Structures are given as C-alpha cells and as structure tokens.
Amino acid sequence: HLAFLLLFLLTACGVTAQNADSRITGLEVELERLQSERAILEIPECFALAMDTLGASPAGGQAEAKAIMQECYTDDASIKAYIIGNPDPILVADNLDAFISQIRASFDRSAYVITLHLMGNKKLSFMEDDTAKLLSRSITPHFVNGTGTERDGTVDLVPGRFEDEVVLVDGVWKSQKKTIYIDAFWITKGTVVALPSGGN
C-alpha cells in the first residue's frame, strides 16, 4: 500500500508540474501577443507624429519625419493616397523618402503652418504570426497662414481612413504598405490672431 501511495503522489506531482509548465507557456504566448498588439496599434500615432513634424516645420522637417517613420515603417514601404470617388491615386510613393518629399511639397503649396493628425478608431487583425492588417481613422485640421491672401486663417479639415499591412522585421512590427483614403475636405475660414509675447 505504501508503494502504491508513493507512486500515486509522484504521478500527481508530475501532472501538476506539467500543468504548471503549460500555464507558463500559455502566459508567455499571451504576453507576446499583447506586446505585438500594443506595438502595432502605435503605428498610427507614429505616422501622425511624423506628419505633424512636417506640418510644424515649414520648408523643412524631412529628416526628423523620416527618423520617426523608420521606427514603424520599412524604408521601402509602399504608400498610396486616394480621394473618395476617384479611382486614381493622388499620391504614389515606393519608399519613405519619396513619400516624405511629396508630403513636404503638398504642405508647402498649401502654406500649412501646423497640422494635427488626431487618430481615432482602430481595428487590428493578425493574418499570420508575423503579419497583420491595421485599419484606423483620423480627423486632421491643417492651419494656413503666411500666404498674404484670403487663405490666411483658413483651416482645412481632412477626415481620413488608413489601411496598413504590417510585418514583423527583426523583432519589430512595421508597416510595409499603407493606403490612405481621404473621405472629405472641409474648408473653414477663421482669423489669425497675433498672441502677445512674454505672457502665459
């Protein structure tokens, strides 16, 4: 009877150890997935920060914007932009340099002195262990000044949708393909007010 009891206890302990190992493995997998989700869901904010760096740097900011985008986009990322109702893209870029250059030129033509890409809803879908698709939305006011025309004081409101195809590159989640859809373009008229210097 003692031998049987000992065998029973050893067997029970072995099963318990196996269950514990299984739980630990499951938690590690879940933690890795949560870390991946967090990293991917930060890509829209990374993009927004890069765009607003350009928006706040008239005729400059390209190097800073590229450095930001390189944290969450591959250097050869393919980026296209469409206006709703038009099947032809208004922007086509095969790498970050080309994309940033085109955005810089667009901001310059429009005399934007600041942009605010306010990111909203997001939906993430894992395709494989190392690929995912991310959908997101934004509303982006673009402020105009310095043209010497009636455009001064204008705020262009641009709601948009984004589709990112994301891949795991050397342990880092990055977008390799981005499609931008501009849903509308509202032009509002305001007044540029000079703020007093030296105060809060």
Task: Please say if the pLDDT value at position 24 is more than 60.
Answer: no
> How far is 107 from 94, CA to CA, in rounded Å?
20
Residue 118 one-letter amino acid: L
- What's the pLDDT at 6? 47
- What's the pLDDT at 196? 76
Residue 72 one-letter amino acid: C
Mean pLDDT, residues 120-138: 95
Burial class (CB in 10 A: 0-12, 13-18, 19+), 5: exposed
Task: Please say if the pLDDT value at position 199 is more than 90.
Answer: no
> How far is 123 from 164, CA to CA, in rounded Å?
11
Q: Grade residue 193 by pLDDT with cuts at 50, 70 and 90.
A: confident
Closest by alpha carbon to 37, among 123, 165, 117, 162?
123
Mean pLDDT, residues 85-104: 96
Mean pLDDT, residues 8-32: 61
> How far is 141 from 118, CA to CA, in rounded Å?
8
Task: Please say if the pLDDT value at position 2 is more than 80.
Answer: no
Task: Please say if the pLDDT value at position 16 is more than 50.
Answer: yes
Residue 37 one-letter amino acid: E
**pTM, to two decimals:** 0.82
- What's the pLDDT at 103? 96
> How far is 160 from 179, CA to CA, in rounded Å?
10
Mean pLDDT, residues 19-42: 78
Q: Which residue has the tokens 């869901």?
A: 41
